[in-house]
Structure 1
Amino acid sequence: MERITEYRSFEIHVDIQRVHGDMYNVWFQLEGPISPPNVMAIGQRVKVFGGPFTERWSYLVAELAGRAAVDIILGPPA
């Protein structure tokens, strides 16, 4: 399952995969208007560690991880 949200001109793609029962592993991927030279993770799937999570938590933690990554790339929001 995939969900896409937008944050500060970047798209955060969240992908979850069922592990067992109602538990999921989760990845996020950033797509955006810029690709700074030293940032290798843009366009690559990044696994969120600490799981598996419930479906609801999977989407939440992946979106928050994606937002944190965007904030690191662009600096804190004004």
Structure 2
Amino acid sequence: MLGFEIHVDLHPTSADMFDVRFRIEGPIMPPGVAAFGERIEIRGGPFSRRPAYLVAEIVGQAAVDVILGPAG
């Protein structure tokens, strides 16, 4: 994925439940992408551990797709 990294942070809310945040870091700093490198909380939680990681990975990949723009 061109050297982009998706970092996931889980924050316990109750027994076995977590709020999840992600941040994207990469080799370029795209102009106009204000949240690049910032932690972004994923709504819809709390999640149990496995779904939290799955949701964060999918959301992070979608964010990288938006940063890179249409495939051509």
Same-fold call, TM > 0.5? yes
- 1:53 paired to 2:47: yes
Pairs within 5 Å for 1:57-76: 57-76=51-70
Identify which of structures 1 and 2 has the higher relative contact order when contacts are C-alpha pairs closer than 8 Å and 6+ apart: 2
Q: Structure 2 CA distance, aligned partners of 1:47 and 1:27?
A: 4
Pairs within 5 Å for 1:1-78: 7-77=1-71
The amino acid across from 1:36 in the alignment is: P
Percent of aligned pairs with the same amino acid: 54
State the 1:8 CA deviation: 3.7
Which of the pair is proportionally richer in strand?
Answer: 1
Per the normalisation by structure 1, the TM-score is 0.85
Uncovered stretches (5+) of structure 1, i.e. residues with no partner: 1-6
Per the normalisation by structure 2, the TM-score is 0.92
CA RMSD of aligned residues (A): 1.3
